[in-house]
Amino acid sequence: MPRLANSSLDDRHTAVIVPLHSRGALTEQRSSRRLTVQPKYGNGSSAVLVRYQWMGAPGAPTVIVQGGISADRHVAGSDDGKSGWWSELVGHGQAIDLAHCRVLSIDWLTPSDFENAPRAISSEDQADALAALVDALRIDSVAAFIGSSYGAMTALAFAARHPGKLEKLVLLAGAHRAHPMSTAQRAIQRQILRLGQSSGHIDQALSLARQLAMTTYRGSEEFARRFEGTPDYREGRFHFPVEDYLEHAGRRFVERFDLERFLALSESIDLHDIAPESITVPATLIGFPSDRLVPLADLCELQRRLRGSATLEVVDSPYGHDAFLKETNKLAPLLRQALPSRCGA
């Protein structure tokens, strides 16, 4: 991602306002803002470039939506034909209804977005940047922060550090800290990336790290159903059915992600550690028994330790951690129920 010094867009605080003509009075604002935060692993305050999207009904309550580390600010589909990463849940008439709320989302920050780059990026930095953006956009109060995976971690940091700006937390597949087994798996991925850096095989390393990550995102039941079968012998060796899937996922990831970004955000997950007792904002937690990255037991612990009221919804799914992306039909009624009433019809 470009460094702050290279951006002229933000210096003018320019916003692109796109009327969503097919959806009545809805608007979409895509812009960048130069804001100031104090990164946890930096040396004092620093300017930072925050890229955001704000879309929905003008004047409606704002809901922050953030996903995993590979998600960007493009949450919902727009009139340019591009589908957002959560379009089945965010849109006109969807569970998060853009006719009744405005969805705000940012591209995840990495050290290169800061004028004075910190040693590492933290979930607190992401939360502080979002809070500064909320102030810059003159949003009095955020109706809800809906976070999935790393987004849930950032939502917890936001609630702990800026409780006066937030009415409700909705957390999917994310907890107050990373599980040590998940940290071990990501540490191996980062070692692969650093080996690729030192050997000059960056694309191969990024692909392999992503392939390993895919084995942690999905559930064993799904892999058993999709990839049972005999291997094919080609190119001098046996190829197992699951390999084509993993290699395809790796190639696609290399096309849209870079190594430094993966390293920074992967490390940020494992640096995350928020005391649940510091959070008084009411919360709805959603977990998946098949999730091996964020065990359901961690969400149970989080629910017990939160100081505010907290409910835990358990959703059965074969998709593991990625259930927050795949189980849209099951999640839609839970999200509708979790959102504050002023975000509804």
pLDDT tens readout for residues 174-217:
999 999 999 999 999 999 999 999 999 999 999 999 999 999 99
Same domain, 101 and 15: yes
DSSP, res 68: -
Question: Cα(71)–Cα(86) distance, rounded to whole angstroms?
Answer: 9
Question: Cα(300)–Cα(37) distance, rounded to whole angstroms?
Answer: 32
User: What domain range includes position 226?
Assistant: 180-269
Burial 323-338 (b: 16+ CB within 10 A, else e): bbbbbbeebeebbbeb
Question: How confident is the model at residue 83, as a pLDDT?
Answer: 85
CATH of the domain at 207: 1.10.1740.110
Same domain, 287 and 263: no
**Could you tell me the two tokens for 88?**
């089945």
Question: How confident is the model at residue 180, as a pLDDT?
Answer: 98
pLDDT, tens digit (0-9, with 9 covering 90-100), for 111-121: 999 999 999 99
Same domain, 230 and 139: no
pLDDT at 1 over 50: no
- Confidence (pTM): 0.92
CATH of the domain at 331: 3.40.50.1820
- Nearest to residue 91, comparing CAs of 335, 319, 321? 335
pLDDT at 3 over 50: no
Name the domain boundary from 226, 245, 269: 269
pLDDT at 254 over 60: yes
Region 279-293 average pLDDT: 98
Band of the pLDDT at 11, cuts 50, 70, 90? very low
Q: 149 catalytic, yes or no? A: yes
Same domain, 79 and 139: yes
Same domain, 159 and 14: yes
SS3 74: coil
Question: How confident is the model at residue 79, as a pLDDT?
Answer: 58
Mean pLDDT of all residues belonging to the chain:
92
Burial 167-191 (b: 16+ CB within 10 A, else e): bbbbbbbbbbbbbeebbebbeebbe
pLDDT at 296 over 80: yes
Strands 232-234 and 102-106: unpaired
- Nearest to residue 171, comparing CAs of 205, 193, 191, 145? 145
Same domain, 44 and 79: yes
How many domains does the chain contain in total?
A: 2
Q: 291 catalytic, yes or no? A: yes
pLDDT > 90 fraction of the chain, expressed in percent and rounded = 85
- Nearest to residue 41, comparing CAs of 257, 193, 267? 267
**Could you tell me the two tokens for 94?**
């969807």
Same domain, 144 and 209: no
Residue 311, φ and ψ in degrees, nearest 5: -115, 150
Same domain, 304 and 242: no
Same domain, 171 and 186: no
Out of 107, 291, 298, 322, pick the active-site residue.
Answer: 291
Same domain, 202 and 338: no
Name the domain boundary from 234, 269, 304: 269
Same domain, 157 and 256: no
Name the domain boundary from 244, 269, 294: 269
**Could you tell me the two tokens for 44?**
């004092």
Question: Cα(109)–Cα(267) distance, rounded to whole angstroms?
Answer: 13
Question: How confident is the model at residue 7, as a pLDDT?
Answer: 31
Question: How confident is the model at residue 77, as a pLDDT?
Answer: 77
Out of 128, 182, 321, 322, pick the active-site residue.
Answer: 321
Out of 123, 149, 182, 268, pick the active-site residue.
Answer: 149
Same domain, 136 and 86: yes
